[in-house]
Chains A and B, each alone.
Chain A
Amino acid sequence: MKSTGKVIGIVSNLVTVQTFGPVAENELCFIDLAGTRLLAEVIKVNGDRASVQVFESTRGLRNGDAVEFEGKMLEASLGPGLLSSVYDGLQNDLRTMEGVFLKRGEYTDPLDHEKLWEYKPLASVGDKVVAADWLGEVKEGWLPHKIMVPFTFKGEYTVKSLIGPGSYNVDTVVAVLTDESGEDVPVTMVQKWPVKIAIKGYKEKPRPDKIMRTGVRVFDTFNPIAEGGTGFIPGPFGCGKTVLQHAIAKQGEADIIVMAACGERANEVVEIFTEFPELIDPYTGRKLMERTTIICNTSNMPVAAREASVYTAMTICEYYRAMGLRCLLLADSTSRWAQALREMSNRMEELPGADAFPVDLSAIISNFYSRAGMVVLNNGQTGAVTFIGTVSPAGGNLKEPVTESTKKAARCFYALEQNRADQKRYPAVNPIDSYSKYLEYPEIQAYLEKNVGEGWVEEVAEAKNLVRRGKEANDQINILGDDGVPMSYHERFWKSELIDFILLQQDAFDPIDCNAPMERQKYMMDIVLGICRRDFSFDGYEQCREYFKNLINILRQMNYNEFHGEKFEQYREELLKTLAQNGN
């Protein structure tokens, strides 16, 4: 028996409902607006008053309008067909909606129920299984999509019957399981899971022990993110957050990419689904769109669904992780989500925390980041969810609640800097303030030494140190003047410029430079450090500057040309000649 209620107060999308019967925190309800059913979620209950946030515009809603509670929380539908989809924050399929404009109360099914999938069983009759164990498999694009024992199942089950290989739609019963009390339960290819709760169903969550390659040097070389790791990119507007995130989405070494456009520009989403179907995944050679799911709640879409969008995206990632896949979740921007929380908290007249954000903001953020991670599944295989969020700090000031709360939760910090962006030094990641905690993990260090090259970790540290010393030298030059400092200061400064221009900066719009494989990153690092370790002799700072500018120009041309191609080798020759003229 569903509880009912009626509207007794409206402020924008916060509606107060007088309830008749029990309601649960985060329970969904529908508000009837002259025949249009508006979805809403309970966010606070006080006596018989429930405060609900409506996922739609409340224009025209009246006090007295009827409310029907659903007895369940916001759930994601999980099954084959999630990939290549474009969903809104509530997982409505935006592709199947009618008309150019979004209509209130129009909800579409996330999965195609007609489509047939080539299925084969993986379990056997009589097997003892628990939640998240694999029962069968379909091919979703090129990926093996496992059909699992639903995550909501508690205790141990026995496989009673299994359907044979064949083509079936998602609603086909593929297995019947018997629970501990002897009752039979059917399992289809679709299961539902409440998005605000983390999917467990794995054996353990060890520390990450590999890095996830992105082809972006400021990440892979300087501050690598672990597979199953967490990172965040704060930065003022116009510093290249979006370009950097798209580069990672295109080049990130993952089986699945879920992009949550959370309160951001619609044209950025359009860019993804215009370009991704054409672009090729550098690791598999397949179309990028085949491994990508887009969750989009753009800034003009209902505010309350912004919060739902990041949770829906995370739930889809956790689902694929349980299949032993490596997932990358990109959320742009978590600040918009925090602002949505602030708007609701404000309308409920809660006592505000810093900058009027709700006081539990920090707990909400760290709880969300903790859902990422590498896991060992029940069958011993591993899966991972790597999470990178962007943060849009008000006024570009990193001392604000969202940035500070995120810094406590995320292990990698990629600080975008206005100053570098003004100088068009892209990606504008500050090389000194940014960090990756994973570089300190012995497991990751061992992985890098083995897979990139011996001594790599020290090389990275050396390069970072050179950048730091170069900055100090530059500060001195700016204080004392070009003539007021010893020659060695100029040399030190220009060596750091060399690292900046050749290793830190990268042209995201150049077809070759945009994606540097690890081998190439290592090769260029060796060349650049080789130059930095040399001692040069110059007749004055002007000569020093000219010499290094020339070196930078040659090395840039190398970055722009095919690795070890004809042009690349020509520039390398030229570099060797130039180096032979000075220094040893």
Chain B
Amino acid sequence: MATKAFQKTYTQLDAITKATISLTAKGVSNDELAVVHGKLAQVVKTKGDVATLQVFAGTEGIPTNAEVAFLGNPPTLKVSDALSGRFFNAYGHPIDGGPEVEGEERQIGGPSVNPYKRRQPSQLIPTGIAGIDLNNTLVSGQKIPFFADPDQPYNQVMADVALRADVDKIILGGMGLSNDDYLFFKHQFEGAGALEKIVSFVNTTEEPPVERLLIPDMALAAAEYFAVDKNEKVLVLLTDMTLYADALSIVSNRMDQIPSKDSMPGSLYSDLAKIYEKAVQLPAGGSITIIAVTTLNDGDITHAIPDNTGYITEGQLFLRADTDTGKVIVDPFRSLSRLKQLVQGKKTREDHSQVMNASVRLYADAQNAKTKLENGFDLSDYDLRCLDYAKDYAVRLLSIDVNITIDEMLDTAWELFAKYFTQAETGIKQVFIDKYWPK
């Protein structure tokens, strides 16, 4: 990294851990960047004249007499329309062979939007996937993660959602992406001919984990440029936030902080909230929607990472393999979109919310019937009908390979109700039954 004339340099380190270094230095400011032995680092703590810095690329090979040059400012990104269609690393440098982007230099991880200046999200984001559109409708300005085991095709689903969504810009923040997944996204975006509306910040598994900590702020600084300055609808994809949190715990551990649940730092909730709360519907029309991925360990959502995430985000989309049909489905029980009522029945057909609730309730009855079956009990006629319905429902609506309009989803649901149940068994308001029950 190029050095500047006014910077202060030091050559004596006091302490080195795997992720941090400490040295005696004067006039250091909090969050300031420095170059340590050619590697980028950031001030995380000062105590008297001793400053502690986290070294993003890891401290391997840093000697005690390493040269440390302070840069005088926190991490920045140069923003302009020239970001479009480009791929960058965690520091905002191009990795696609193209030139550096010129533009206004802005600090990343900037201030929050005044909550009073926000607008209520109200624009539907249709994805064609019924497990999302019918049961967990997405709204612009929302923040929602996929909860999925590592073997689920979450990156594929996320790419599908991004490319089908009607947005002006897509910003990809890839943390710990495998090289294969990075190339997958690249090919998907190129194949869809959508490259000019996509900006990517990528940290692959080949790169040091602590670098990942910069990715969400970089991606969101770019998103804010397009949403705030250009009034565009921006969709931010963050994958995989579990690896981001792991990097947080590495740094806090090296700084001798007392860990809380699951050896995560006590500030995990605030750290994640700072990222997710950048999702916003702005008064001038621009918006930032965040779709993230949080990988789970064997479906365990009580682990600190998914647990804190669930309390921050506006719902979650839970992917799981349905053993009865062999499909990957959006689990209707564990998935939730908290903003769905802002568009259901308002931007979609009036019967939407009742149809959704009835179809999920009947699916729950099918799960009970399945438990009975597994326990060796006789099934009633109703149980058998529920089980048949559940298979149809999983294949025709819950499966992630569905791609139909919301009206088609509602019609399909009514068709399934009429095929397997009486009107009273659905428990839907009579006015809707009179209007939509297939004749």
- Complex formed: what's the CA distance from A11 to B30 in Å? 8
- Pick from A94, A265, A299: contact of B116, CB under 8 Å: A94
User: Chain B residues with Cβ under 8 A from A556's Cβ?
Assistant: 427
State whether the Cβ of B429 lies closer than 8 Å to any Cβ in chain A: yes
Knowing A60-B31, A298-B277 touch, does A270 contact B258 (C-beta < 8 A)? no
B116 touches A101 (CB 8 A): no
What residues on A are CB-neighbors of B341 within 8 Å?
Answer: 509
Q: Does A60 contact B111, Cβ atoms closer than 8 Å?
A: no
- CB-defined interface of B94-110 with A at 8 Å, one 1/0 digit per residue? 00000000000001001
User: What's the Cα separation between A340 and B113 when bound, in Å?
Assistant: 21
Q: Return chain B residues, CB-CB under 8 Å to A9.
A: 45-48
Chain B residues with CB below 8 A from A399, complex form: none
| Stretch from B163-171, B291-299, B376-384, B395-403 at the A interface | B376-384
Contact mask for chain A residues 345-366; partner B; CB cutoff 8 A; 1 contact, 0 none? 0110100100110000000000
Q: Which residues of B contact A296 (CB under 8 A)?
A: 115
Asked if B266 contacts A356 (CB within 8 A), the reply is yes
A63–B427 CA distance with the chains assembled, in angstroms:
66
Q: Are B377 and A481 in contact (CB under 8 A)?
A: yes
Q: Which of B270, B315, B382 contacts A299 (CB 8 A)?
A: B270
Determine whether A460 belongs to the interface, using a CB cutoff of 8 Å to chain B: no
Contact of B199 with A by CB under 8 A? no
- Whether a CB of chain B sits under 8 angstroms from the CB of A238 is yes
Are A394 and B304 interface neighbours, CB within 8 A?
A: yes
A375 close to chain B: CB less than 8 A: no
Chain A residues with CB under 8 Å of B63's CB are none
B74 within 8 A of A: yes
**B117-125, B202-210, B238-246, B385-393: which lies at the A interface?**
B117-125
Kindly state whether residue B49 has any CB partner on chain A within 8 Å: yes
Q: How far is the CA of A12 from the CA of B252 in the complex (A)?
A: 12
Say whether A274 contacts B47, CB under 8 Å: no
B32 close to A (CB within 8 Å): yes
Partner of A64, one of B27, B267, B278: B27
Q: How many A-B residue pairs have CB under 8 A?
A: 210
Within A216-270, which residues are at the interface with B (CB < 8 Å)?
Answer: 236-238, 242, 263, 265-267, 269-270
Flag if B283 contacts A100 (CB, 8 Å): yes
Q: Which of A16, A97, A267 contacts B121 (CB 8 A)?
A: A267
Q: Please give, as numbers and ranges, the residues of chain B lying within 8 Å of A102 by CB-CB distance.
A: 111-114
Residues of A within 8 Å of B429, CB to CB, are 557, 560
Q: Which residues of B contact A423 (CB under 8 A)?
A: 361, 364
A299 → chain B closest CB, angstroms: 3
Contact yes or no, A57 B116, CB < 8 A: no
**Which of A267, A273, A356, A481 is in CB contact (< 8 Å) with B259?**
A356
B120→A269 contact, CB < 8 A: no
Q: Which residue of A lies closest to B120 (CB)?
A: A274
- A298 and B112 contact, Cβ closer than 8 Å, known pairs A263-B273, A356-B260, A481-B377: yes
Q: With a CB–CB cut-off of 8 A, which chain A residues contact B430?
A: 557
User: How would residues 250 to 286 of chain B score, 1 for a CB under 8 Å from any chain A CB and 0 otherwise?
Assistant: 0000000111110000110110011011111111000
Please state if A266 and B115 are interface contacts (CB–CB under 8 Å).
Answer: yes
A100 to B282, Cβ gap below 8 A? Answer: yes
Chain B residues contacting A95 (CB-CB under 8 Å) are 116
Docked Cα-Cα span, A339 to B375, in Å, equals 43
Interface flag for B249 (CB, 8 Å): no
Is B277 touching A300 in the complex (CB atoms < 8 A)? yes
Give the distance in Å from the alpha carbon of A523 to the alpha carbon of B279 in the complex.
45
What interface size band does chain A fall in?
A: 35 or more
CA A87 to CA B314, docked complex, whole Å: 23
Residue contact B47 to A16, C-beta cutoff 8 Å: yes
CB atoms of B266 and A99 under 8 A apart: no
Known pairs A60-B74, A300-B273; A101 contacts B121 (CB<8 A): no
**In the complex the two chains form, what is the Cα distance from A270 to B141 in whole Å?**
12
- Decide: A299 near B266, CB < 8 A? Known: A62-B27, A94-B116, A394-B304: no
Choose among B269, B280, B424 the residue that contacts A339 (Cβ–Cβ < 8 A): B269
- Cα–Cα distance between A336 and B45 once the two chains are bound (Å): 24
Distance (whole angstroms) from the CB of A499 to the closest CB of chain B: 16
How distant is B372 from chain A, measured CB to nearest CB, in Å? 8
Chain B residue nearest to A350 (CB atoms) is B258
- B9-17, B153-161, B332-340 - the one binding chain A: B332-340
Say if the beta carbon of A545 comes within 8 Å of chain B. Answer: yes
* Given A394-B304, A423-B361, CB of A299 within 8 Å of CB of B273: yes
B47 & A238 in contact (Cβ 8 Å cutoff) = no
B325 nearest CB across to chain A (Å): 20
User: A60 and B427: CB pair below 8 A?
Assistant: no
A298 touches B115 (CB 8 A): yes
Query: Complex: how many Å from CA A349 to CA B314?
Result: 33
- Alpha-carbon gap, A423 to B333, bound state (A): 7
B308 smallest CB distance to A (angstroms) = 8
Q: How distant is B349 from chain A, measured CB to nearest CB, in Å?
A: 16
Whether, in the assembled complex, B303 has its beta carbon less than 8 Å from a beta carbon of chain A, the answer is yes
CA distance A339 to B316 in the complex (A): 22
Specify which of B121, B282, B338 lies most central, judged by the most chain A CB atoms within 10 Å of its CB. Answer: B338
B62 near A: Cβ within 8 Å? Answer: no
Which residue of the partner chain, among A8, A60, A263, A422, contacts B48 with CB atoms under 8 Å? A8
B257-A346 in contact (CB<8A): yes
Q: What are the residues of chain A within 8 A of B29 when measuring CB–CB?
A: 59-62
- The 5 closest A-B CB pairs, nearest first, are A395-B302, A299-B273, A300-B277, A237-B310, A94-B116
21 contacting pairs across A/B (C-beta < 8 A): A62-B27, A62-B28, A63-B49, A86-B116, A100-B228, A102-B112, A237-B311, A265-B312, A267-B279, A270-B119, A299-B312, A300-B278, A339-B269, A347-B257, A356-B260, A394-B261, A394-B302, A423-B364, A478-B375, A482-B372, A542-B380
- Apart from A100-B283, A238-B334, list 10 A-B contacts with CB within 8 A: A8-B47, A60-B29, A62-B27, A94-B114, A99-B114, A102-B113, A346-B258, A482-B377, A509-B353, A545-B380
